[in-house]
Amino acid sequence: DQQVKQNSPSLSVQEGRISILNCDYTNSMFDYFLWYKKYPAEGPTFLISISSIKDKNEDGRFTVFLNKSAKHLSLHIVPSQPGDSAVYFCAASTITGKLIFGQGTTLQVKP
């Protein structure tokens, strides 16, 4: 039972354009959401997070939007850069602190 889903395995965008990565979840008890980025042969690294009491969080080029009624979150990267090419995982957490990850979306930013 996949509680956190990233339905797009891959995404390709042109440098300078916006990248939008999507994530859906099923468990209404999730109260915290995070995005991680992963390069090949490396561990995931934290990118940005959002609490369920907010609907938007921004950090530089990265913005995460949360729509609780739709159980949907998205990560916007503006402008996209070739160095952003990586696998992006969304993750959700309950009060117990266990993070449940989605399957990941591979982003390719073309120069």
Partner 1 sequence: NAGVTQTPKFRILKIGQSMTLQCTQDMNHNYMYWYRQDPGMGLKLIYYSVGAGITDKGEVPNGYNVSRSTTEDFPLRLELAAPSQTSVYFCASSYDLAGTTGNTGELFFGEGSRLTVL
Q: In angstroms, rounded to a whole number, what is the distance separating the alpha carbons of residues 67 and 14? A: 27
* Residue 42 touching partner 1 (CB under 8 A): yes
Would you put residue 6 in left (φ > 0), alpha (ψ -120 to 50) or beta? beta
Nearest by Cα to 103 from 4, 22, 24 = 4
SS3 state of residue 84: helix
* Residue 12 touching partner 1 (CB under 8 A): no
Quick one: which of 65, 68, 100, 108 contacts partner 1 (CB under 8 A)?
A: 100
* Residue 62 touching partner 1 (CB under 8 A): no
Nearer to partner 1, 2 or 67 (CB): 2
- Interface with partner 1 (CB under 8 A): 4, 6, 9, 31-32, 34, 36, 41-46, 49, 51, 89, 91, 93, 95-104
